[in-house]
Amino acid sequence: QSQELSQVRIDYHAALMALQEQGTRMVCTGKMHTDRICRFDYLCYCTEAEEFIFFHSNASVMLPNLGSRRFQPALLDLSSVEDHNTQYFNFLELPAAALKYMPKPVFVPDVTQILNRFNPDNLMHIFHDDLLPIFYTMQQYSDLDDEARLVFMEGWGEGAHFDLYRLLSSKQPLLKDHLRNFGKLMCFTKSYVGLSKMTTWYQYGFVQPQGPKANILVSGNEIRQFASFMMGRLNITQEQRPEDDDYIVIFSRASNRLILNEAELILALAQEFKMRTVTVSLEEQTFDSIVQVISGASMLISMHGAQLITSMFLPRGAAVIELFPYAVNPEQYTPYKTLASLPGMDLQYVAWRNNIEENSVAYPDRPWDQGGITHLEKEEQERILASKEVSRHLCCRNPEWLFRIYQDTVVDIPSFLEVLREGLKVKPNLKKSKPISTVHPGRVREPKCQTSVQATNEAKLAVSWQIPWNLKYLKVREVKYEVWIQEQGENTYMPYILPHQNYTFSENIKPFTTYLVWVRCIFNKNLLGPFADVLICKT
Ligand code: UDP
């Protein structure tokens, strides 16, 4: 495919006049460099200097105008990985008058999204750091549509799965290296710089050991909408299969982190679940055909690794079984567990770990990045070999972690089946699994309290309310109410769960006392509504 910029002809003279007279304009969202996305008119890029350029004129706008705080540490993160010092974006400034002395700019007429991919050779990173954030940044800005141009500035080549990036828009994405082909000075007519981090759920351990993000803002719904967009673009349709044609997918790795007794595992699964098993690997199948198979599977079994990101294509109700090599604690490496457990993903998740050292094959002689340890001091090698579990560590070059995670494994069938029987609460079942409602109750209406004093040490507090307004339009399996009662001045409260719209409290209610009462509605045990305004009730 050629790197033709556009079929849309632009009036070169008019564009050049606009740039010279109006200069660059920037308006951003976000308070911090970590949550900022900026929209530019006429942001330019100098391919010789490898710098973006902001041209000042009388009509320029720069919001936020941070002064030199723009360099503390940067204007924004160019990738979706938070505050990574290799992923910062900034620009140089020049007066628009300097254009007279510069090479003639080449204008990019498309609306452009400029970003860094984080690790385009790894499938997990491709989906989590790039594709999902790009997709949802595009949803945030309506002019980033199917005609938008993606520009990847991290400086890598296409990477292992460039075709996946091509699915996001009808235009060929540009790499940093491509830009020089267009000339010395490129000016993006309209561009967005940065990525939404709203959909990411995992942090890779640059400042603290890896784990789920502290404040996850994405639900299974958005992941599944993205997954079905991708399936649509890949021309994958979920074919209707007969009721009883359930199957299990083993996603294996052909070059490292192998399952050494796959045949035995398949046999055991057939006996246990009465299902056939399909094996796939990125070495043997195309990505499209793998997604096709996974999108109809009841269970996905795989060693820990990037290929497990494809669990987002499993149907609701399916199970993800993640296998961990010897001395690796599953609780500490949870990108796929976190994904499967997002509300509304509706996947079951089970982790199995190899506890039998003899069932593990390690590769101390390999290069360090494939888990080799022979480059280390003898003592350190011995310590690693004797260790029964990798302790918590930072990303990305911990030799003990790499040594352990790149082991091959003979899966011990009895312990594997036991973990499955224990972990799968219900038989993985796709047919019955419909999306569960995520509609939250509104506030209860007209909350009231009435009090009465029975005796010097006896009082009653009657609380009543009306159903939330939206309930009359909903079919809800279980509607309950939660009432909190706090004696004024105390710092604890008593919570009650109630089935009806009124209740008279007499236990623990004292005469001549002021109580604060909050009421809210709860659907299906876990969908909490907001509290109504506090009631002030004097006995
Ligand atoms: N990979 C693969 N087969 C293998 C080993 C790796 O397909 O035998 C893929 C893997 O799914 C990932 C990429 O190669 O997309 C890099 O793998 P690596 O082991 O570096 O990362 P990890 O899977 O541990 O995230």
336-393 pLDDT, tens digit per residue, is 999 999 999 999 999 999 999 999 999 999 999 999 999 999 999 999 999 999 999 9
Return d(Cα 222, Cα 344) in angstroms, integer: 9
342 lines ligand 1 (CB under 6 A): no
119 lines ligand 1 (CB under 6 A): no
Ligand 1 atom at minimal distance to the Cα of residue 369: 20
Query: Taking Cα atoms as reference points, which of 260, 307, 262, 261 lies closest to residue 281?
Result: 307
253 lines ligand 1 (CB under 6 A): yes
509 lines ligand 1 (CB under 6 A): no
Count CB neighbours of 8 within 10 A.
Answer: 9
161 lines ligand 1 (CB under 6 A): no
Look at residue 124 in the predicted model and tell me its pLDDT. 98
Return d(Cα 336, Cα 300) in angstroms, integer: 12
Query: Taking Cα atoms as reference points, which of 333, 390, 338, 335 lies closest to residue 360?
Result: 390
Look at residue 243 in the predicted model and tell me its pLDDT. 72
Q: Which helix (H) or strand (E) holds 334?
A: none
447-485 pLDDT, tens digit per residue, is 999 999 999 999 999 999 999 999 999 999 999 999 999
How far away, in angstroms, is 122 Cα from ligand 1 center? 6
Contacts of 245 (CB under 8 A, 6+ apart): none
Ligand 1 atom at minimal distance to the Cα of residue 254: 8
163-216 pLDDT, tens digit per residue, is 999 999 999 999 999 999 999 999 999 999 999 999 999 999 999 999 999 999
Count CB neighbours of 166 within 10 A.
Answer: 16
421: its two tokens: 């029987």
pTM (predicted TM-score): 0.95
Query: Taking Cα atoms as reference points, which of 243, 248, 301, 303 lies closest to residue 270?
Result: 248
Instruction: Give the percent of the chain with pLDDT over 70.
Output: 98
